[in-house]
Structure 1
Amino acid sequence: MMSNLFSVFDPSTNIMNYSLNWMSTFLGILMIPLFYWLLPSRLTYYWMMMTMILHNEFKSLLGSSISGNTFIFISLFTLLLYNNFLGLLPYVFTSSSHLSMTLALALPLWLSFMLFGWINHTQHMFAHLVPQGTPAALMPFMVCIETISTIIRPGTLAVRLAANMIAGHLLLTLLGNTGPLLTSSSLSILIIAQLALLLLECAVSIIQAYVFTILITLYASEVN
């Protein structure tokens, strides 16, 4: 039962033994040309307004850094946002619910920030291991705790995003499988519950993309 339940999230297909499910990640490319070939629409205006809000927020978090470095975080937010939303469509594989993708996004970014910080701001990185006001007797323990918390950051980022995305999809699948066993009166309640959960998952998709990007931005701001 459990293996059949979690097989919904199995990234494998029966078409020539290729993992064609991952091609759903590139479905957003089909939507991109509309922003270039059509006249500026209301949707384009709202998207540019949201991009400017994100740019200002990331810029305030990063402080006086190299100009233009917010674009990588805006691109990361966009990638996660449309992957999370595409996973809500029927028969579309949710790539952001797998650690193979979320860890591939979190680990290189975190590793690049750590290398940049330890190479260019070594004293600042050493000072960051001991919070201000720590007693001398607790300093060795604080160094160990801060080191462990820094090392597990990419893992917690990846697991947070994957777990939140897979939990809602799993609940929708469980409720959907009970549909054939219900009566007509109970079925209407199930449909309302499914619609409410779908609305909740839309909010979770936005929030998780935002949280992932904000945390990556905060980790980048610590190395300056």
Structure 2
Amino acid sequence: MMTNLFSIFDPTTSINNISMNWSSTIIGILVIPTTIWLIPSRNNMMMSILLNKLHSEMKTILGKGKTNKGNSFIFISLFTMILMNNFLGLFPYIFTSTSHLVLTMTLALPLWLSFMLFGWINNMNHMFEHLVPQGTPSALMPFMVVIETISNMIRPGTLAVRLTANMIAGHLLLTLLGNNGPTMSHSLLTILIIAQILLLILEGAVAVIQSYVFAILSTLYSSEVN
């Protein structure tokens, strides 16, 4: 029995007290046939075009430094994983793992910590420069240091909450509208189905956009420490 609106996001499916909902995080790898990577097809070409575009964009953001070689592939893998989980959550009875802060914070926090450790150990002067933007008046410098430090500290939280909130919002709206279906007349039911289809298309777009935003922002944070 649903005790509150957010209980639909609770990981409740279990076997021998082992939660099975989180297996949806890797289930996408199991359902993708190996032929998508081996035999040229429309899916293969679409993924190749998408990943090549992302690779070129991330290389532009990261620059051509020696420490940036191969970094774009980390963020492309991150984008692919989040995109897969976002899309799987649109299917009935599949747990949306990206709607939980447990997963999104697990992705964001280690990335941010690694950027900070790398930056402060290898480029300390550069990191201090970031605390005071160019052209800041001398009287405002202490305040700018505090503001920039706080904005830097909340970055993993904003990354995680942005993805989680967007995933929850759309799913809640679909659930609320769907629960009203049995009590509606036939004429209103037709409008509801059309609205649900349009919302589902919107959620598909949100799934792509949010995974892109997460990967691009992570790339930008990485470029700032070099």
From 132, 135, 147, give the equivalent of 1:133. 135
Corresponding residue for 1:205?
Answer: 207
In structure 2, distance between residues paired with 1:172 and 1:115: 41
In structure 2, distance between residues paired with 1:87 and 1:73: 21
Describe how 1:50-61 pairs up with structure 2 within 5 A: 50-61=50-61
Which 4+ runs in 1 deviate beyond 4 A? none
| Deviation of the 1:192 alpha carbon | 0.3
* Amino acid corresponding to residue 170 of structure 1 in structure 2: L
Taking structure 2 as the reference length, the TM-score comes to 0.95
Aligned length: 223
Contact 2:181 2:189 in 1 (8 A): yes
Describe how 1:29-178 pairs up with structure 2 within 5 A: 29-30=29-30, 31-36=32-37, 39-65=39-65, 66-178=68-180
| Deviation of the 1:18 alpha carbon | 2.0
Contact 2:14 2:20 in 1 (8 A): no
Once the two structures are superposed, what CA deviation does each residue of 1:132-154 show, in whole Å capped at 9, x if it has no partner? 00011110000000000000000
Once the two structures are superposed, what CA deviation does each residue of 1:67-122 show, in whole Å capped at 9, x if it has no partner? 21110000000000010000000000000010000000000001000100000000
Corresponding residue for 1:216?
Answer: 218
In structure 1, distance between residues paired with 2:33 and 2:78: 15
Corresponding residue for 1:186?
Answer: 188
Structure 1, gaps ≥5 residues long: none
| Deviation of the 1:160 alpha carbon | 0.3
Corresponding residue for 1:15?
Answer: 15
Task: Give the direction of change, closer, same or farther, for the CA distance of 1:171–1:128 in structure 2 (3 Å limit).
Answer: same
In structure 2, distance between residues paired with 1:76 and 1:138: 38
* Amino acid corresponding to residue 110 of structure 1 in structure 2: W
* Amino acid corresponding to residue 20 of structure 1 in structure 2: M
In structure 1, distance between residues paired with 2:104 and 2:122: 27
In structure 2, distance between residues paired with 1:167 and 1:87: 13
| Aligned-pair Cα RMSD in Å | 1.3
Matched position secondary structure for 1:150: helix
In structure 2, distance between residues paired with 1:112 and 1:3: 40
Give the fraction of aligned pairs with identical amino acids, expressed as a percent: 67
In structure 1, distance between residues paired with 2:69 and 2:144: 34
Contact 1:9 1:93 in 2 (8 A): yes
* Amino acid corresponding to residue 34 of structure 2 in structure 1: P
Once the two structures are superposed, what CA deviation does each residue of 1:34-71 show, in whole Å capped at 9, x if it has no partner? 3245x211210111111110000000000123321110
In structure 1, distance between residues paired with 2:49 and 2:193: 35
